[in-house]
Amino acid sequence: MDGSMVKEMLGKSVVVENSSFVSTGKISYLDGDILEIEITSWKNFSLGEKVKAVIYARGGLVTFETSVVGKSHGVLIVLVPPDWQPGLLQRRQHVRVPWGAQGELLQIVERRGVHLLDNPEPIVVENISLGGIGFRCGQRLLDAGTIATVRLPIEQFPPVPVMVLHGREENDGRFHGGRFLELPQKQIQTLRAFLLNRQVWMRLQERRAEKID
C-alpha cells in the first residue's frame, strides 16, 4: 500500500452506522485488509456485524459497506472492501502478512524428478499471503522452478504445492519465495480467514504494546 495514501487517510473523520446506531470516529490505522477507527461508542457495535461507513476524504465522501472484524477499548477494526475506489489506495495484489511459524517440507519436484523426503524437514514461514509464502529452509537451497509440497500450521489446511520463484543465502538461513499452485476454493477461503484474523490479532497486540510503552 502506498505510504502517502495511508498518511492522507489517517486522522480523517468517519461515520459508522449499524441498524440502530450512528457514531463518528477517526481513522487511526490502515494497512493490508483492515482499517482501524478510534471511536468512543465502540461498545455499540458487535463483532461480525455489517456496518456502513462514510469517510470524509480529500476528494469527497467515500461510502462503503463493511464488517466489524475486531474491537478493543475505544476502537473498531473493519474490513477494507476489495472494490474500494481505484486510486484511493495502492495495494499489493496480495497482502503479505508476517508470521514466523514452523511448517514442514514434504516433497520436492525438480527437473531431475520427484524427490520424496524420508522425513518431513522443518521450514520457518516468515510471511504468507493469498498468493504464496516466504520461507526459510535450513538444509536446502531450492532452485527457481522447483515445486515444494509444504504443510502449514493452519487448521483444516491440507499440504499445498508451492512453486519456488527465488532462493538466496542469508546470514540466518536459506530464504525462498514461492507462490501457491491451484488452491481449491475451500482452501482459499480458509486461508483468507486466517490472514484476516492474523492481521487483526497483530494490530491489537501492537495497540497493547503502545499502551505499555
Q: How confident is the model at residue 213 (pLDDT cuts 50, 70, 90)?
A: low
Mean pLDDT of 203-210: 90
Neighbours of 51 (CB within 10 A): 22
CB-based burial of residue 174 (10 Å sphere; 0-12 exposed, 13-18 middle, 19+ buried)?
A: middle
For residues 174 and 123, state if they share a domain.
yes
Question: Virtual CA dihedral for 179, 185, 188, 189, nearest 10 degrees?
Answer: 170
Residues 110-137: pLDDT tens digits? 877 777 788 999 999 999 999 999 999 9
Least confident of 37-46, 80-89, 133-142, 166-175: 80-89
Place of cell 510471511: 127
Q: Tell me, what CATH number does 157's domain have?
A: 2.40.10.220
Average pLDDT over residues 138-154: 92
Question: Domain residues for 145?
Answer: 97-186
Computed on alpha carbons and rounded to an integer, the radius of gyration of the chain in Å comes to 20
Q: What is the pTM of this model?
A: 0.87
Percent over 70 (pLDDT), the chain: 92
Question: What share of the chain in percent tops pLDDT 90?
Answer: 72
Residues 125 and 168 in one domain: yes
C-alpha cell at 27: 481513522
Nearby residues of 51 by Cβ (< 8 Å), 6 or more positions away: 16, 17, 18, 45, 65, 66, 67, 68, 78
End residue of a domain, out of 79, 106, 136: 79
For residues 105 and 148, the answer to whether their CB atoms sit within 8 Å is yes
* pLDDT tens sequence across 36-76: 999 999 999 999 999 999 999 877 888 999 999 999 999 99
Report residue 84's pLDDT band, with 50, 70 and 90 as the boundaries. low
